[in-house]
Amino acid sequence: MDLHLKDKVALVTGGGRGVGRGVCMRLAEEGAKVIVNDFHERRAERVAGEIRDLGGSALAVQADITNLAQVRAMVAKAAETWAPVEILVNNAGIPTREPGDESTGGGWEDFSATQPETWARMIDLNVYGTMNCTHSVLPGMIERRSGKIVSVMSEAGRMGEAKLAAYSAGKAAMLGFSKAIARELGKHCINVNVVALGAVDAKEVVFAELDEKAQARLSAIFKSYPIARGLQRLSRASDIADAIAFLASDRAAYITGQVLGLSGGFAMQ
């Protein structure tokens, strides 16, 4: 299916790794001109380089999306380089860490044990980051009466997740915000949708190649994801990128204000 994304200008936040990278690569494969945003410049440059090496068009832009001035400058740079942003993918977020993992990331603590500064990081990036980017691209979209906005949330925002209260709150806010502006922007032919993720396997492990202990651990996780039991895997960046590419295309012209669960049946709503 041709998604007719050739030469469309797409901005993907948090595009330097994981799901964001997958989305950037998929949109570029469809012919879009991709602005790869990341807080870490090296990550953004690496993904943009990958796209260019494959013959695509990409521009790496380092920006902190919680800083409105930086976001405005990034959107202006896109317009100066190519054209106003036509597709916005609000993907940037703080990943949750696994229980017992002391690396950077958020979550897996009872709310009573958390501190306000950790709430602020979650809310600033997920809520204000999404609002900053959306607000910055809307003037051009409204003027052209065309645009696609897809935001990436977690099923934790729809269902709530114990020990991830602030994370769940930030993701839930993205959904409420998206539904509200979808109602406002329909008159301008701008589509606003959300995809909700469950566990994502960044390493794309092959179940049959794992040792017995790892298989048992993964099988326990599969119990929460109906389709994972059959496919013997969790979701991958490519699964998410394919859905986002569709929602970013005119093939989804009559879809707005919706949340699409990409969690293998973890949540069924």
Higher pLDDT, 9 or 106: 9
| CA within 13 Å, CB half, 189 | 10
pTM of the model: 0.94
Nearest 10 degrees: Cα torsion 53, 149, 257, 226: 20
Query: What pLDDT, on a 0 to 100 scale, did the predictor assign at position 107?
Result: 61
Query: What pLDDT, on a 0 to 100 scale, did the predictor assign at position 104?
Result: 45
200-209 tens-digit pLDDT: 998 899 998 8
178-197 tens-digit pLDDT: 999 999 999 999 999 999 99
Catalytic site residue from 128, 167, 225, 254:
167
Q: What is the DSSP string of 34-77?
A: EEEEESSHHHHHHHHHHHHHTT-EEEEEE--TT-HHHHHHHHHH
Q: Report the share of the chain in percent with pLDDT over 90.
A: 88
Q: Where in the chain is the domain with CATH 3.40.50.720?
A: 9-200+236-262
98-143 tens-digit pLDDT: 444 444 445 689 999 999 998 999 999 999 999 999 999 999 999 9
Q: Look up residue 104 and give its amino acid.
A: T
Query: What pLDDT, on a 0 to 100 scale, did the predictor assign at position 95?
Result: 66
254 catalytic? Reply is no
Q: What is the CATH number of domain 9-200+236-262?
A: 3.40.50.720
47-75 tens-digit pLDDT: 999 999 999 999 999 999 999 999 999 99
